[in-house]
Amino acid sequence: MAQILTNIYDWYRDLMDNQSDPRVADWPMMSSPFPTLGLCIFYAYFSKSLAPKLMEKRKPMDLRNTLVIYNLFQTIFSTWIFYEMARTCWWYYVSKFTEFFDTLFFILRKKTQHVSTLHVIHHGCMPFSVWMGMKFAPGGHSTFFAMLNSFVHIVMYFYYMVAALGPKYQKYIWWKKYLTAFQMAQFVAIFTHQFQLLFTECDYPKGFMVWIGLHGIMFLFLFSDFYKQAYNKRVGRAKREAEALLAKSHANGKLHNGDIVNNNQGACMPVLNDDDELHQRKVTGNGIYLNGGAKTANSYSNGNSNGFVESIQQSNGGIGENGGARVRKIQ
């Protein structure tokens, strides 16, 4: 047993001291994988267990101003990384930790339905993946996906920032669908760039080529599923749900607080929304309907909007809380 432990330690020291890039040896958090790995594990535990329990009996926080500032910071940070990529690879690694705040803000506003397992896997694995790239293959071929991803984040966080400003700015972010397509194109470019090494000679670790390329394929699949769920089926699904709720109101005499509409959000959560048709929605007295009167439903997330406006109309027919039927009109 002692010999096995000795061999493991010798292998680890050889990996850290002889197989890694000496240029990054003295950079913060680069001498050992354990700080990064520990933060990733704690992030997963915090996101899926600790934080939801801490928020369970607390009211959701209003973080609109915080989200505007945060998304502005991420936009500027990504712009700087993209512009200075040749000298800021380490800061790209740091940016993967700052993106943990995406999850934190969901939890603080009690939007835990957005913190899916895939969301946590994505944010949780990226810091360690970038750490390995920084430690063993910094610069050169590795910088392409980091530079492209930083550029996508410039656009994405700018979108989030504008959406967090409130409903009067929603008309300026009609291009959400194209942002999702842009994210998907990013993944195609990433795995194409990586897998070209299968046909050309390059002194670049094959393991990293496969690792990064598979990341591109995996996220292309997940975002494609989201795209189909969000944009190809949204209108038909929304109409069916409206009809089902209206039929229920006729059958039961009214819409009860807590009535739930379930929507498949797709396998992943790019350009995510809070209260739109992609997620579970409650019909409550304080939410969509107030004393039988019509209200406009708000749509926010990590600052983002659904890209369309939902209005609630009241008619004289049917049965509602105060005698009026509620009909959703999707514009």
| CA distances from residue 322 to 53, 289, 290, 317 in whole angstroms, order as listed | 37, 11, 10, 12
Out of 122, 123, 141, 215, the active site residue is: 122
Q: Contact 327/242 with Cβ under 8 angstroms?
A: yes
Q: Contact 147/82 with Cβ under 8 angstroms?
A: yes
Q: Contact 288/261 with Cβ under 8 angstroms?
A: no
Return the SS3 of 268. Answer: coil
Q: Cα–Cα distance between 246 and 327 in angstroms, integer?
A: 7
Is 114 annotated as catalytic?
Answer: no
Q: Contact 73/153 with Cβ under 8 angstroms?
A: no
Return the SS3 of 282. Answer: strand
Strand partners, 225: none
Q: Which residues are catalytic?
A: 122
